[in-house]
Structure 1
Amino acid sequence: MKQTLRTAGTLFCVLLFSSVVKAQQSDSTQLVHKVQGIKILHTLETAYGAKDVEQLTEHVPAKSLNKGLISTPEQLIAGHFTGLQVVQGNGRPGKGDQLIIRNGTSVFGNNAPLIVVDGVPLESTHVFDYTGLLSFLAPEDIASITLLKVAASNAIYGSRATNGVLFISTKSGAENANPTVTYTTTTAISVLRKKADILDIEQFRDLVKKEYPKEAALLGNDNTDWQDVIYRKAFSHDHNLGVSGTAFNFMPYRVSGGYLTQNGILETSQQKRTSFAVTLNPVFLKEHLNLNLHVRKADQRIRVANERAIGAALSFDPTQPVHQQNNYGNYFAYLHEDGTADQYAPSNPLSLLELHRGIDETNSFMGQAHLQYKLHFFPQLSLNVRYSLRDQENAYSAYEPKEMVAVSSTKGRLQANSAAINWEQKEAFLSLNQPLNSLQSKLAFTVGAQTRKYEYETRTSVVYDPDGDKVNGNYYNYNSRTEFASLFTEAGISVKDRYFLNGALTQEKYPTVMSDTEGLITWGIGSAWNIANESFIAGIPTISMLRLHANYSYFVKPDLGANQFSKGDPRYENTTKWNTGLSWGINNNRLSGDVNYFQTKTSDLYNYVYQTSSNGYIRRYVNGGEISSKGLEATISYSLVSNDDLNWNIGTNLSHTLTKVNSLYQNVKNLKYGPDGPVTLTMFVGNPVGSFYVSGQVYDESGKPVEGEYKGADSSGRIAMGQKDPKWMLGLLSDLSYKKFTASFLLRAATGQQVYNMADALRSSIAMVWGPNYLENITRSYYDSGFEYRQQTSSYFLEDASFIKLEYLQVGYRVGSIWKERANLNLTATAQNAFVLTNYSGQDPEVAGGIDYGQYPQPATFSVGLKVEI
């Protein structure tokens, strides 16, 4: 430990750094208040001053977050932060969105930012499969969200902050405030925005009669649109009640409760959440002692729909009825002559939904106590101690009765799983906030230590038939306990409010790094120059802000180390990040913006290769190779009008990112990865990260694909094409108020990415129409391609997935005082995902992972909201 402290102290002495990008819109006083206890922003505020903090972060207060029926916090920030992808990719209730910073820094590792809630970092490990990491947090409880993508300060969180840090601050009571009661409610209806492009009923009948006249007898007499059968108009409602104020003249408080019922557009899908939160912030000893207490509880119940019904609805014969009299729940089924079901025939889509009962229940608890004491004899120095814990318990069951054709031979199916996980974190740190008046400077310093651990237990997993005859008993109990420790330090200094230096360092001990006794170092350095305060600029009244900044960071990711999988010296995936930019403001920041250039490189890349063994091919994990990215980001905000009656602000953010595979393990030129299937993603040297491994389709002179003819770059006849992540992303926000009326909207756009339309590739050939004793529908693209057989690896189905999307459009009316002027009432109406402009032929151009098998489509949602404050 002494050696560890000496190492950390020595390195810290030479580390000074700066922060990064400009805030989109913020109130710096509110920001500092809301993020109390967050080490990075605490130091930045001291070094730079509260006035400049907003220029050093991308910060969005609650009033500017996305509007409408919002069930998870990830949905609040889509389109707000440059370089942050919020890949929605699924319309299932309760699902979490995928967060990716600047197209990621790893291929097999985590590419999401570290999420910090009220100063507590959240581990990415969780026990649930059907809800997101933040689903326990009611969006109405959030006060602000702040993103630091590449600030050198992020190094204080160690390797977990390789992809930036996303700070979420929740609402708390105000000091010396009277009790306030706030009630909000949202009622919404969601509908299918776009159907899959398959043959309609008459087209299907005509095709069968023309191409398979002998099988025309298999056609039924009904006209069934199976997409109408499985999708519905879904009604949802969300209620939140909050009470805040100051108790006993020294303790600000906030107590809140929420209840959400979100019905999905796919029949039977549903999310229910009950949440409760308490925040207490008492102040003692004439404001020398502050205590921040947070307790949060959430219970969620997900009705998990059988999403196999989505693909079934695309191919099931539209001339057959939904119901018929039989022994299989009276759902139409293909039967043998003896009345038993043909289990190899397509399954009735509605039966897959209504006979399947999947229930996922999660109980979450999160609590923390953060004590801050400012020394009486030296109040510039404060001692901070924090203890936090989280618990999650999950139980999942899936029941399918013997009346379901697919499981009728095994008398049905019942699956049950349960798991629990517990996190615990302890940390202590000293913070110094010292003005250096004689040098016209300010100094901020933080040093501390942290331990964290988690215990994971999978209690049971069993599959058996409901009658008690075990089909595949798979009983097991798995327990694991993991502990981590780290030392951290950071500092910031400002000189004459013009020159800024900051630095951060963390030394981490990971249990997986058995051969490393000293721990691993993550660090960051940088600088900033406030040009606007220089004498040659200060005299120009139109320039209100002009700041140049640069920083460099180095992250080591020991949890992705080769020594876990192979012999030899341990190597760890490591990432270096460099960023420089300019922030500017004109006419008291009425027009403001920034531009940033960044470069990222990840070396000793964590990946795998296949090797032969006595049991066939085995996957071996190795470290080797390098990927890199670079790009530009820019934001602009402008206050068009600002007076007593009319205020109109617009803002835009733009990011451009290019990635490249520079090298791979040893002499390997191409590595497939991603979900197994006909088409996978690939790392191909010289290509972008996340290319598609497809067969290069050959076309004739008229531009029509030649069936079965491909051009490939390797022995398998495959070629790397396109990329799953966008090259360009854009957000456009407008916020207008006129007297009591308000209107706002957010447009999101992305281009440069592709999606492989596997849903089309599997259903676009004429051979798929006729089965042994049944018919199946196909997609309309058959008329263009003329494919006789499936071409499920053809680049013909690799499509441009560029899009422009209306994230939300909201209009509102501030009614004002009601009930004898004791309450204020606000009314809103919101449209979400009302339109998407794209050339992609599938239902949604946003697909997590880039391969579209026919995902749960994102609905269009229309809602009305009411807010009463007493």
Structure 2
Amino acid sequence: MKLTLKQIMPRGLVLFALLLVSHLMVAQSTVTGTLTDADSGDPLIGAYILAVGTSTGAVTDYDGNYSVTVPAGVTQLQFSYTGYSNQVVDINGQSVINLAMTSGQDLEEVVVIGYGTVKRDEVTGAVETVSSAQFNQGAVTSAQELVSGKVAGVQITTDGSPGGGAAIRIRGGSSLSASNDPLIIIDGVPLPTGGVDGSRNPLNLINPNDIETFTVLKDASAAAIYGSRASNGVIIITTKKGKAGADLRVSYNGKVGVGSAIQTLDVLNAADYRALIEERFGAESTQAALLGEADTDWQDEVLQNSLFHDHNVGLSGAIKSLPFRVSVGYTNQEGVLKTDQFSRITYGLNVSPSFFENTLQINAGIKGISSDNHFADRGAIGAAAAFDPTQPVRAENDFGGYYFTPQTGSANPNTLAPNNPLALLEQRDDDSNVQRYIANFTADYRMPFLPALRANVNMSTDRSNSDGTTMIPDNAAFAFEAGGSGGFMSEYDGETSSNLFESYLNYADDLTDGVRLDIMGGYSWQNFYRENSFMRSDLDGSDPEMDDSASEYFLVSLFSRAILTLNDRLTLTGTLRRDASSRFNADNRAEIFPGASAGYNLIDLDDNLKGLNFLKLRVGYGLTGQQEVGGVYPSQAQYLGSQENARYPFGGRFITTLRPEGYNANLKWEETTTLNFGVDAGFFNDRLTGSVDVYQRETSDLLNFIPVPAGTNLTNFITSNVGDLEVRGFELALSGDAISTEKSTLSLSANFTVNQVEITRLTATEDPDYIGVPVGGIAGGVGNNIQIHSVGFAPNTFYVYEQVYDESGTPVEGVYVDRNGDGTVDENDLYRYENPAAQSFLGLTANYRYNNFDLSFAGRASFGNYVYDNNLSNRALYSQLANSNGFLTNTIPAIRDVDFNDAQYFSDLYVRDASFFRLDHITAGYNFADLIGEGSSIRTYITVQNPLLITDYEGIDPEVFGGIDNNIYPRARTILFGVGASF
């Protein structure tokens, strides 16, 4: 039967009236009162009062007042407030109960998880939280730097450039060709992958000073609630917010620092280089005649002492019943490579009012960034290592006054010779501007007739606009073109947007004594859109090349979770998510991702067995997915129009042709299953806490970029579901208070991880003769791939020859071990030798306080990570010293140890152990309490960032993402002074 709106409304009113009458017919009483803070006397706003044994409750108003209707038979009220100890009070016929609540060390810690929070002792998955008090110090511009080395199983490899990005890997990643980046969620808003054109790092969106906590969901049982985007883990970032009833508080954080490159590539100076040339070719040779009279340290010419300063002002508090926080920040950072600069302005506003006696909680906010970048040409790093040190930086010429290597018998630049490194930097303008903001609105409504039931709606938009220009002048020698202008200009702009709508219902209540149920179900819709345009032309605008593109896809999901707690001992958690992605065809579009976990508290505070006050066992299993395939329409037929200069003439007109693209109509989800066993323990009233996790993760139907037979598709390579991958690991995390007195404290924490990754399948059918997929391109020639994906080995394993050495330990050029014993050394003797991924890694943190003085440090160690030294393989060659086209190239001192004339790129000589220990920062500070008024705080501090690096690796830096050391951006050692004030 179909009902109209006019029919529905009267029936609904009748039903509501019946419910109200039945409610009033039950014998009831009313209890009122006021809740305050026991120390300050301030009212507690939004505290929850529950009639014990029922779902009846109330919430305090702005003045801390409450009124709760108590059903017949109820004898107790429970009072709870975030950050305060729960209290249960007997009613005993009282109609007014006023209570002063206390905060203390016995608080129940709340952990942020997907779509909600749980108490720490109810966590059943592998979840770890880092708060702002534990963050790394230093010249931090991007959020990920705050937690580097802080979380077991998480490796963060940062870029040395200002505001640079980072590779974040949780338990080693789960894919080969698809993304291995974790899903990042900021205040409930999932960030899209792919970044923003012209931006160095997507996480530059948020000022590190505004972040309250990082929570990492590491296993599938914890992350499965996010389904298709959680295969590589989830990072939930929560920002600071105002508090109800709080007074206005102003904070300022500022720091200024100077940085310099920790290390440069060891190359020959002018005197040693001149001696080597004369030794090899003779003092009267044509090669020696090419030497100059200068003494130039080219790396010193392109590197600089970099300046850094960062300022952030925040105001927080409450205007009557409106809690708020607003912040503005400014960052300016130079790179150690000249002309490289990053600056940004960040802003944030958050309000969180409550209505209807706090049953409706609103949270609305906007956070944004306006950043400007001047990008340096990183080719200058390699050019500085290669350029002849006997030549001057500048010379009288028509090419900007920069010295260049001339062609033989001509005054024109030799385009085959190394370019003047300083000219590469100063004759290139490469700028971008990025505007980005996230606006979000969340409403959480607790039903008055059933306080245990609440409805939540989350809406957000993430938008960016960016533009950039690159210009090379026509007098740049490095852009010289015979017979024409070598200069050019290019422009690009981009627009991205991600719109999100989510809603869910959550019911959480004590069903009976000792049994609590928390159940949630919801819906999610997210749209991703990207539009780009690009134009390149000569400086006068002639010969333009233009390209425009736009793409869009959707992700629609249903999700649910149930948490059942029995007697505060056993907690069972189950999650289920159904994702549908428009990246796949209809037959493969939707997939279901379940997760289940359990935790059992063997020992808690009530037991306190000989110093062991807490012991919990956890087990979790879950399935997650992957749809980040590097393209928007990989499973659909596409046709691209030809560019303006490639149209087809027909009948006196130029016709735009359509070019078909390759695609895979059968493409489907990559799936990852994870099994996790964990133990959490606390000793001596949690003076020492720790956790151990053992996990196994298996990825099937890998989204792999593989070659296809000629004629079978419209491309040579295609994304397909081929292959399996397995990850096994062990994590240990410990933290404790070694000293805890009124005057001094010393807290220590450490985490240790063992992680191993193995490819278990790469072909649709078993093929023992299939060697794998070559990857890892190196300098020295097109198609030189030094790594390989092979079954039975880790991804990106080095694929090399085994070097033969003479009696003195010097490698013999071109002589390798005949590993298969067939009497011939050829490609069949290549073998798989080590890989870039660390077999184990360690994080250490210490914080010491004596009265108002504090001292802290944080460090990391990596063991078993190997690097291919492409600088050594490409520069330590006698044949590279002098080129037949009339120019010289510098080399490195190790050339005498290697003693090779010609390149031997595939020798295992160049695969080096790059294990290291790095001290990320040492910070000392002093806090001046009540200096500018009661409750005020001014802390001054000094930080040395990257003060110590211990390694046997002889290249610029052992911490190389991908494992190939070639023109790495030098990391900086920075000394900075800072002040933080709050009043």
Question: TM-score if structure 2 supplies the norm length?
Answer: 0.81
Output one character per residue of 1:65-84: Cα deviation in whole Å (capped at 9) or x when no partner: 00011000011111001111
Letter in 2 for 1:427: E
- More displaced 10-residue stretch of structure 1: 146-155 or 667-676: 667-676
Verify: 1:450 aligned to 2:524, yes or no.
Answer: yes
Match of 1:738 in 2: 850
Structure 2 residue 215 is the aligned partner of structure 1 residue 117: no
Q: How does 1:807-846 map to 2 (within 5 A)?
A: 807-819=920-932, 823-846=936-959
- Could you tell me which of 57, 61, 66 is aligned with 2:131? 61
Q: Please name the residue that 1:625 is paired with.
A: 723
The 5 Å alignment of 1:457-856 reads 457-458=531-532, 460-470=533-543, 473-516=544-587, 519-533=590-604, 538=607, 540-558=609-627, 560=629, 571-613=668-710, 618-665=716-763, 666=765, 667=767, 668-675=770-777, 678-711=784-817, 715=827, 718-771=830-883, 772-819=885-932, 823-856=936-969
What displacement does 1:315 show? 0.8
Residues 807-832 of structure 1: CA deviation (Å, up to 9, x unaligned): 11100011223235574211010011
Larger Rg: 2
Matches within 5 A, 1:23-102: 32=110, 35=112, 39-42=114-117, 45=118, 49=119, 57-88=127-158, 90-102=159-171
CA contact (8 A) 1:731 1:748 kept: yes
Q: Which amino acid aligns with 1:466?
A: L
Residue 606 (structure 1) shift: 2.2
Could you tell me which amino acid in structure 1 is paired with residue 741 of structure 2? N
Paired letter, 1:733: T
Q: 2:394 & 2:621 partners in 1: Cα distance?
A: 65
Q: Deviations over 1:432-491 (max 9, x none)?
A: 1111233x1111011000100011111x21211212332xx3212211221221000001
CA contact (8 A) 2:588 2:667 kept: no
Deviates more, 1:342-351 or 1:746-755: 342-351
Query: Does the 8 Å contact 1:562/1:572 carry over to 2?
Result: no
Change (3 A) 1:454 1:436: same
Task: Check 1:567–1:207 CA distance in 2 against 1; reply closer, same or farther (3 A cut).
Answer: closer
1:133-152 pair list within 5 angstroms: 133-152=202-221
CA positional deviation for 1:736: 0.3
Equivalent of 2:224 in 155, 169, 172 = 155
Change (3 A) 1:777 1:157: same
Give CA-to-partner distance per residue, 1:670-694, whole Å, 9 cap, x none: 1123457523431112112221233
Q: Which amino acid is 2:501 matched to?
A: K
**1:834–1:559 distance in 2 versus 1, CA, 3 Å:** closer
How far apart in 2 are the matches of 1:562 and 1:246?
A: 50
Deviations 1:476-524 (A, max 9, x none): 2211221221000001011001111001010111112223278210111
**Per the alignment, in what secondary structure is the counterpart of residue 818 of structure 1?**
coil
Quick one: which of 344, 355, 362 aligns to 1:291?
362
**Higher alpha-carbon deviation: 834-843 or 607-616:** 607-616
In 1, the alpha carbon distance for the partners of 2:426 and 2:665 equals 55
C-alpha displacement of 1:613: 2.8
- Structure 2 counterpart of 1:365, which letter? Y
After alignment, is 155-164 or 678-687 more displaced? 678-687
User: For residues 471 and 121 of structure 2, what CA distance do their matches in structure 1 show?
Assistant: 58
Match of 1:20 in 2: none
User: Partners of 1:696 and 1:569 in 2: how far apart?
Assistant: 41
Q: What's the CA shift for 1:386?
A: 0.8
- Residue in 1 that maps onto 2:498: 423
- Map of 1:188-587 to 2, 5 A cutoff? 188-213=257-282, 214=285, 215-248=287-320, 250-336=321-407, 337-409=409-481, 410-438=485-513, 440-458=514-532, 460-470=533-543, 473-516=544-587, 519-533=590-604, 538=607, 540-558=609-627, 560=629, 571-587=668-684
**What amino acid sits opposite 1:113 in the alignment?**
P
* Matched residue type, 2:873: A
Deviation at 1:148, TM superposition (A): 1.3
In structure 2, the CA distance between the partners of 1:517 and 1:734, relative to structure 1 (3 Å rule), is closer
**Could you tell me whether the CA contact under 8 Å between 1:28 and 1:54 is conserved in 2?**
no
Counting aligned pairs with the same residue, the percent is 29
1:67 and 1:856, CA in 2 relative to 1: closer, same or farther beyond 3 A? same
Query: Which stretch shows the higher mean deviation, 724-733 or 681-690?
Result: 681-690
Counterpart of 1:425, as a letter, is L
Rounded Cα–Cα distance in structure 1 between residues aligned with 2:412 and 2:436? 45
Classify 1:221/1:720 alpha carbon distance in 2 versus 1 (closer, same or farther; 3 Å).
Answer: same
Residue 550 of structure 1 aligns to a residue whose secondary structure is strand
Q: CA deviation at 1:846?
A: 1.1
**Counterparts in 2 of 1:511 and 1:569: CA distance versus 1, 3 Å:** closer
Gap runs ≥5 in structure 1: 1-25
CA offset digits 1:96-136 (Å, max 9, x no partner): 11101111111111222211111111111222255112111
**SS state at 1:154 partner:** helix
Q: Distance in 1 between matches of 2:358 and 2:199?
A: 44
Cα shift at 1:338: 4.7
TM-superposition CA deviations, 1:712-748 (whole Å, max 9, x none): 7784653322111111010011000001110000110
Which string of whole-angstrom CA distances, capped at 9 and with x for unpartnered residues, describes residues 763-813 of structure 1?
110111112322111112211110101222322111111000001110001
Q: Which amino acid aligns with 2:465?
A: E
Partner secondary structure for residue 762 of structure 1: helix
**1:135 match: secondary structure:** helix
Q: 8 Å contact 2:879–2:901 — kept in the other structure?
A: yes
CA distance in 1, matches of 2:588, 2:338: 55
Tell me the C-alpha RMSD between the 2 structures.
2.3
The 1:160/1:204 distance shift into structure 2, 3 A limit, reads same
The 2-side partners of 1:764 and 1:72 are apart by 37
Q: Which moved more, 1:607-616 or 1:519-528?
A: 607-616
Query: Which consecutive unaligned segments of at least 5 residues does structure 2 have?
Result: 1-103, 637-661, 821-825
Letter in 1 for 2:733: T
Task: Give the TM-score taking structure 1 as reference length.
Answer: 0.92
Name 2:75's counterpart in structure 1. Answer: none
Higher relative CO (Cα under 8 Å, sequence separation at least 6) belongs to: 1
How far, CA to CA, are the matches of 1:63 and 1:795 in structure 2?
45
Structure 1 residues 625 and 869: CA distance shift in structure 2, 3 A: same
User: Which has the higher mean CA deviation after the structures are superposed, 147-156 or 258-267?
Assistant: 147-156
Give the Cα separation in 2 of the matches to 1:715 and 1:355.
Answer: 44
Following superposition, the deviation at residue 396 of structure 1 comes to 1.9
2:233 aligns with one of 164, 187, 195:
164
Q: Which amino acid aligns with 2:773?
A: L
1:131 aligns with 2:228: no
- In 1, the alpha carbon distance for the partners of 2:462 and 2:665 equals 37
- Aligned residue for 2:905, secondary structure, equals coil
Q: Distance in 1 between matches of 2:941 and 2:376?
A: 31
Q: Give the drift of 1:287.
A: 1.2
Structure 1 residue corresponding to 2:975, chosen from 842, 857, 862: 862
What SS does structure 1 have at the residue aligned with 2:947? coil
Return the alpha-carbon distance in structure 2 between the equivalents of residues 328 and 199 of structure 1: 27
